Structure 1
Amino acid sequence: MKQFYNLKSLLRLSFLLVALFSLTTVVNSCKDDDEDEFQDHVVQFEVKGTQNVVFKTVVTQVGTDQSTIYDPVGTLWTSGEFFVSTSQSQLNLAANAELPEANSQLIVTIWIDGEVAKSDTAKGTGTLSAAVTHSFLEL
């Protein structure tokens, strides 16, 4: 009789452990499903030139959407802030300008969430270009 009682207790304990393990597995697997695969970021493109720099072209690209601006006025051009999903994966910014003096500079910058993500500077005289790219893909 005692042996039958111990076998019954052992079966109950085994069933309880299997149920507890199954519940723990289900709860842990549900936690991973709640996370979003892609995130949104605030992005801004910026092109600056020192005094007397004349912009010729500014080219921006978010994912596969490309935009070209010809002859922007002034020595500072910004895109304004906009949201970009990391699903877009790639940001590109390029500009060229006429730099009149040896110490003239053309600076292109990609800002992400208020911080400089990438920047490039062209210095010298003549028609020079600067370009930067940023990828959201983690390699």
Structure 2
Amino acid sequence: MKKRIAFVLATWFGCGRVPIAPGTVGTFGALPLYFLVREGGTAAVLATAAVLTAVGVWAAGVVAESTETKDPQIVVIDEVAGVMIALAAARSTLGIVLAVGLFRLFDVTKPFPARRAERLPGGWGIILDDIAAGVYAAAVVAVVP
């Protein structure tokens, strides 16, 4: 049962099982949760990102161990947590669009030192590079009106 819950959460309710661009699908899969929690303000969005990060480290670690893969493509809870950080800085529709786009750009390109995070063991290595991408995107989005 624990492994099944880990797979459901790590794949963000199946978004990660989409055969084409699962990371992008997972990123867009975060939007309903964002629109739900943003009414609570930036603190609520960041708290959600923190919970997703903690749960994601566990779930991603379980999936990586179960699939014997260092960073399974089906794991997208890392994208969900990372884009939530980027979205926390959005103050407008343009900000939301930029947060999502810049998060994906930074997630794919992994500017220094994000790529180094992938060296960490288990779920930490899967999650933290996306957290860095979210922080990078948030830093840019924060200056957008």
Shorter chain as denominator, the TM-score bin is: under 0.3
Could you say which structure has the higher helix fraction? 2
Could you tell me the TM-score, scaled by structure 2's length?
0.27
Larger Rg: 1
Higher normalized strand content (fraction of residues): 1
Q: Calculate the TM-score normalised by the size of structure 1.
A: 0.28
